[in-house]
Structure 1
């Protein structure tokens, strides 16, 4: 309770001061009784606030629904509109009970933001006529066409009141000492002063208060039109509420929202609001943001703001009659302009969804709300289909050999583009066909296979290589393919040459096989790099061409099974690597002049300013086996292994300290491999520069041990070794 009194009560008062003028303005824009907006604000605060799935979301009449309500009032009348609100609320309750709230988030945000922007334009155009002393027309187009005539006329005091309201809205937030009073309330209060002095402006009529409201009645007309109206109110109010709910979770550190509960609560609130003669209820971004910024901690702030609105209307409703309609119209016009949020448009630009935003907005302004939303959804679906089925086909000739790269989803829609590119390849040419695809349907396969058969009959060759799932190879073999897309296959770049096979390649004659086997794997690997990897890495490597800035010196064994960049998941520019037989570091006193490991250490520490030196050993090291006499005695190897004598002495000392009944940890060879890493870390400290930087805390020494058979990396310590923990995904 102390938290409620300290945080939620003050926040509820701030939201109350914002909600009252906005509710009045939305009532005017909707063509509904003035009190209907206040009823919706009370019900949205008390009912939706108490039952909702979010602890900070504030619900009430929403400007985004004003255009819908206005059309419903014009078509069915106000009392029937209230009943439509009741039906829409009941539908929301059902949707919440059946847990379909997440499905509403599947609506493209570009459509939602475009719809709100279009509604904002319509509201701003209609209210601008009131500000100028005239009357709004029946459509946004008519409002736009008659606007020049309206501007040319002399409007006297009406224009002055509207300009005062807008000016206050613009500058109020920049005045630090008055920010406690919300800008909408301040604008209406200040505009009411000249209105009272002139005494000739239209005042808000709230005579009768809540008692003036009428009960709902069943709408009359075509059943399809009524059902469409119910669906429209239910879905628009639900989607706006859920999107606001999701946005509110990013604003506060409290409990996360339950979307299904929130949707059901919005439905209950709409049933109550419609039954009491109020406007439709939805979660409102402006009030929710105000609530969070005011310090709300629980749903008590939302509930109390509704209570304050109820008390104010009952006890001080006569004050509302002092507000000039021109001021409310200017307030609504300002809100309408703000609904065209350029920030949303900029966010959509990076995802190439600007056309959806502007088409939806244009449809709402020029045609109508339902039609504009339908057009936006259709465009969003078409663009999504285009992206999902998009494909890139590139054919280039180099050195007498053609390379065709197909990327994306290869469906029947891409067959014309694919066959056009393949038709440009001359007969008899050698072709490398790279299929970087995540899906292939039967039409695409048949077109590709027909071209390949024809090309090979003409004396050409086609080598097919698939980077994703084996769509082509599977289809050639007549095996049933997966129904869904495949993810990128990551086994191409790290697999040994012997494990790589060309997918779907036809069986070659013996002579051809022998000629292929005579080509060194290294040369073929460089060709694969040049063909596939180099184009992707070129921008990255171009920026590193002049200098390197690695953070680690990585000293590893020359063993062919150890690939530092794989076991550390590092890339170009991360590791400055020194490799030798046995991952040895000669001690400073015994290192010969010009010794390469010593040179690497000096350069890494002095020039590259690395922060860490890592020595990495591995299981089954041949150099350590030679120390134990289990490998061929080679003169060059014997001379190099003199730098490992301290490792061998350390190993024997550790073995002698074992209890006769103890076998140590692992095989003797692997124990020596681990001890050798610890010894090399000690050898590093014999180099004065390294020792000095370690003592100053500017350099860290670490030891790693790679268990080849288990594909497991361990961090070595003097008392043992610890496996590197795996990252878990939830």
Structure 2
């Protein structure tokens, strides 16, 4: 439901994003309490399993879960994100434990936390956005594959090897020689993890991880030979302080601190962004994480977790998505979930010791494979970054995490240089006496000169040629090469025309960008008719070729998504304010955007009955000459004065205090603009009275600010588009 106060475009742009509801609202407390219990049930088996895969004490996972919930939840900048031990750090931590031992690894966790605090204080979070998403997703996928390969051996009753290649080579023998009842327990956990989310019904509210571990534990009671979790004591008794390394190991320790800090920071910020999106889809509010504060909270959490003998923590998307899905409203949910883990680790130690290791390993196999997301692969392929993804995955799996990410970054740099060096150059054969065309697209730098030279050399001497530079960058070396070749070709009797398309020149030079007017992108002082002829010429030269495939598809008919009725004013461009293209909108423009007259009514009927458009929008605008004329009572006689009588009902509604006019007047709009807003509302009423069945929308285009206001038909006022659209269901935005 929309707010009842109107706002100008400038006010809408400054509008603060909606945050979570107040903490002490009883409804919020109920929602957070219930959500915290669900997240607790998800977190416990995952924390135990990640500790197992990290070669760490099993209780270190619960310690990290408690600290992640309470410390990071209280101090972090993402209210709905849940932090704890994460699968993304498992391979790194396991390597550190093997190299330095557990208590030195705890010191590394403390140091990594302090580095994260430093990252937050120095506002370095924005630099993590420079890492290509394909490399980040490839890193997580590589970690997931490594976890799955190692834990699959435990599921089959054997022991995991250190290297992923060794795990792959020994897997066939492991399958042939299955080891006892642990196989049945582990495969049961895997099967339930895969099947449970797909079973329809209310039982889906119970987390699949809890069901899988619970079923594996119950099954293991039948066979005493199945290995189980072995704890030295409860949560409090498992607290262990970190120790200093030997003097010769400090370089490796500092490197480990930096590695954990970087990976944990990137993973936490990615998880926070995903959590924000899920919360926005659920509530319609604009939720935004304070990235620097989130790093401070994560850093404090890691420092405390390391001091207490816990695993490193990050924001975890599995727990965060569960938190959002079950209705959490504030950071109280994640804090409470940490309290429940603490209570569980102190009081229910005997229950933890009943859990079979194969069940936890089965859980980790699925969690690891879930880090390999087909959607990430599709996106990487779509953006031409599949090679980055694959190289990073292979590097992480077969080398180590740092080397895998480094390989991905090196390949990204090489690809960037390669793309710059390969500007797209093609020759189009002449037709009907036209000159031969050489088309150069992309970035034309000194790196592209060899390929450009090869193409230019095939142009026969003495022939007319036109060089079209459709480039976003042209350096001096490439320009000099074209100039030299042009002089040489002309000296041989040929004709050369070097053209940088007007649209590209307008984008580069005009302060108004690609929507520059004729007078802005034409240097010549042309009259109106000449300007239109110049525009048509530029269209055929620069645009027609690019839109021809689209227009060929539309030649057989149209299927627009809506009808837009707006004013005939030359400053109102329907395609610009809606970012629409050919075939998107059926448009009608008349003086004053009135729903009147044979032509307009015929267009509405055609749109409804023949085109069956789902939406009809009416758009008024500021500084409307028709509204000024209606205010002054008309100007003389003739067709224009007759037409402006369509505005008399609008004038009466405004005089009688229409809500749209009153709200606009309070916001400081001039009288004519207030009348224009009332006019939009009146035309929508007329469409409704005509029995129009399509969805109706009202718009007002403020020319000076280039902002568009949207009409709230319930409260009969205009709002900024952000406020109006934020209240719509996610499927309609």
Normalised TM-score (structure 1): 0.74
CA distance in structure 2 between the partners assigned to 1:40 and 1:27 by the alignment: 10
Partner residue, 1:623:
none
| Secondary structure of 1:105 counterpart | helix
In the alignment, is the contact (CA less than 8 A) between 2:502 and 2:521 conserved in 1? no
User: Which secondary structure does the structure 2 equivalent of 1:407 belong to?
Assistant: strand
Cα distance, 1:115 vs structure 2 = 1.1
Matched residue of 1:323: which SS?
Answer: coil
- What is the alpha-carbon root mean square deviation over aligned residues? 4.8
Aligned-pair distance for 1:170?
A: 2.4
Provide the residue aligned with 1:97 in structure 2. Answer: 121
User: 2:267 aligned to 232, 240, 243, which one?
Assistant: 240
State the Cα distance separating 1:602 from its structure 2 match. 11
Give the Cα–Cα distance (whole angstroms) in 1 for the partners of residues 501 and 690 of structure 2. Answer: 49
Matched, 1:54 2:86: no
Q: Which runs of 5+ in 1 are unaligned?
A: 474-481, 503-519, 589-595, 620-627, 630-640, 651-673, 686-691, 701-705, 715-723
Q: Does 1:538 align with 2:548?
A: yes
Mapped partners of 2:392, 2:612: distance in 1:
55
SS of corresponding position for 2:272: helix
Partner of residue 271, structure 1: 303
Q: 1:203 aligns with which of 206, 228, 238?
A: 228
**Of 421, 445, 449, the match for 2:455:** 421
Is 1:285 the counterpart of 2:317? The answer is yes
Deviation at 1:156, TM superposition (A): 2.0
Alignment match, 2:690: 696
Rounded Cα–Cα distance in structure 2 between residues aligned with 1:725 and 1:302 = 35
Contact 1:125 1:140 (C-alpha < 8 Å) held by counterparts: yes
What CA distance in whole angstroms lies between the structure 2 residues aligned with 1:323 and 1:566?
A: 62
Shift of the alpha carbon at 1:463? Answer: 2.1
**Whole-Å Cα distance in 2 between the matches of residues 563 and 175 of structure 1?**
51
Query: What is the correspondence of 1:71-150 to structure 2 with a 5 Å cutoff?
Result: 71-150=95-174
1:355 match: 387
Cα deviation for residue 109 of structure 1 reads 1.8
Tell me the residue number matched to 2:242. Answer: 216
**Distance change in 2, residues 1:123/1:726 (3 Å):** closer
| Aligned twin of 1:227 | 254
Aligned CA distance change for structure 1 residues 378 and 713 (closer, same or farther; 3 Å) = closer
Report the counterpart of residue 522 of structure 2 in structure 1: 499
Cα offset, 1:319, TM superposition: 1.4
Q: Determine the C-alpha separation between the residues in 2 that align with 1:334 and 1:605.
A: 51
- The counterpart of 2:481, out of the listed 433, 441, 447, is 447
The alpha-carbon distance between structure 1 residues 447 and 70, as it changes in their structure 2 partners (threshold 3 A), is same
Which of 203, 210, 215 is the equivalent residue of 1:185?
210
Specify whether residues 276 and 397 from structure 1 end up closer, same or farther in structure 2 by C-alpha distance, changes over 3 A only. same
Displacement of 1:375 after TM fit?
1.0
Give the structure 2 partner of residue 371 of structure 1: 403
Per-residue displacement from partner, 1:628-665 (whole Å, max 9, x unpaired)?
A: 99xxxxxxxxxxx9867968999xxxxxxxxxxxxxxx
User: Structure 1: how far apart are the matches of 2:215 and 2:483?
Assistant: 77
Q: Which residue of structure 1 aligns with residue 94 of structure 2?
A: 70
Alignment of 1:620-659 (within 5 A): none
Look up the SS of the partner of 1:463 in the other structure. strand
Change (3 A) 1:77 1:19: same
Instruction: Please state how far the C-alpha of 1:457 moved relative to its aligned partner.
Output: 2.0
1:649 and 1:468, CA in 2 relative to 1: closer, same or farther beyond 3 A? closer
Mapping for residues 392-407 of structure 1, pairs under 5 Å: 392-398=424-430, 399-407=433-441
TM value normalised by structure 2 = 0.74
Q: Evaluate the alpha carbon distance shift between residue 230 and residue 98 of structure 1 in structure 2; reply closer, same or farther with a 3 A threshold.
A: same
Q: Which has the larger radius of gyration?
A: 1
Aligned equivalent of 1:34: 58
Tell me the secondary structure at the aligned position of residue 306 of structure 1: helix
Decide which moves more: 148-157 or 79-88.
148-157
Deviations 1:306-361 (A, max 9, x none): 11111111111121111111111111112112221222222333222222212111
1:464 correspondence with 2:498 = yes
Q: Give the deviation of 1:285 after TM superposition.
A: 0.6
**Higher RCO, 1 or 2 (CA under 8 Å, sep at least 6)?**
2
Contact 1:126 1:136 in 2 (8 A): yes
Aligned residue for 1:408, secondary structure, equals strand
- Cα distance change on mapping 1:565 and 1:128 into 2, 3 Å: closer
1:259-304 Cα distance to aligned partner (Å, 9 max, x none): 1011011111111111111111111111111111121111111111
Closer/same/farther in 2, CA of residues 488 and 381 from structure 1, 3 Å limit: farther
Q: Is the counterpart of residue 260 in structure 1 residue 292 in structure 2?
A: yes
Shift of 1:180: 4.1
Q: Distance in 1 between matches of 2:373 and 2:465?
A: 51
Task: Give the whole-Å Cα distance in 1 for the aligned partners of 2:427 and 2:454.
Answer: 10
Alpha carbons of structure 1 residues 567 and 354: separation in structure 2 relative to 1, 3 Å: closer
Q: Is 1:160 matched up with 2:184?
A: yes
SS of 1:17's equivalent in the other structure is helix
Shift in CA distance, 567/68, structure 1 to aligned 2, threshold 3 Å: closer
User: In structure 2, what is the Cα distance between the partners aligned to 1:340 and 1:422?
Assistant: 46
Q: Contact 1:56–1:298 (CA<8 Å) still a contact in 2? A: yes
Deviation at 1:386, TM superposition (A): 4.4
Closer, same or farther: CA 260–453 of 1 in aligned 2, 3 Å: same
Deviation at 1:522, TM superposition (A): 8.3
| Partners of 2:424 and 2:442 within 8 A in 1 | yes
Confirm or deny: 8 A CA contact 1:400 1:429 kept in the other structure: no
Q: Cα offset for 1:227?
A: 2.3
1:272/1:458 CA distance change after superposition, 3 Å: same
**1:304 counterpart (326, 332, 336):** 336
State the partner residue of 1:17: 41
Partner Cα separation in structure 1 for residue 644 and residue 269 of structure 2? 68
Q: Does the 8 Å contact 1:437/1:468 carry over to 2?
A: no
CA distance in 1, matches of 2:35, 2:368: 25
- 1:380-407 CA distances to partner (integer Å, 9 max, x unpaired)? 3333444566522222232251222222
Q: CA deviation at 1:256?
A: 2.4
* Shift in alpha-carbon separation, 1:41–1:536, aligned structure 2, 3 A: same
CA distance in 1, matches of 2:68, 2:645: 80
CA distance in structure 2 between the aligned counterparts of 1:599 and 1:5, rounded to whole angstroms: 56
Task: Return 59-68 or 452-461, whichever deviates more.
Answer: 452-461
Structure-2 residue corresponding to 1:529: 539
Q: Tell me which residue corresponds to 1:653.
A: none
Contact map agreement 1:58 1:284 (CA 8 A) in 2? yes
Displacement of 1:172? 2.6
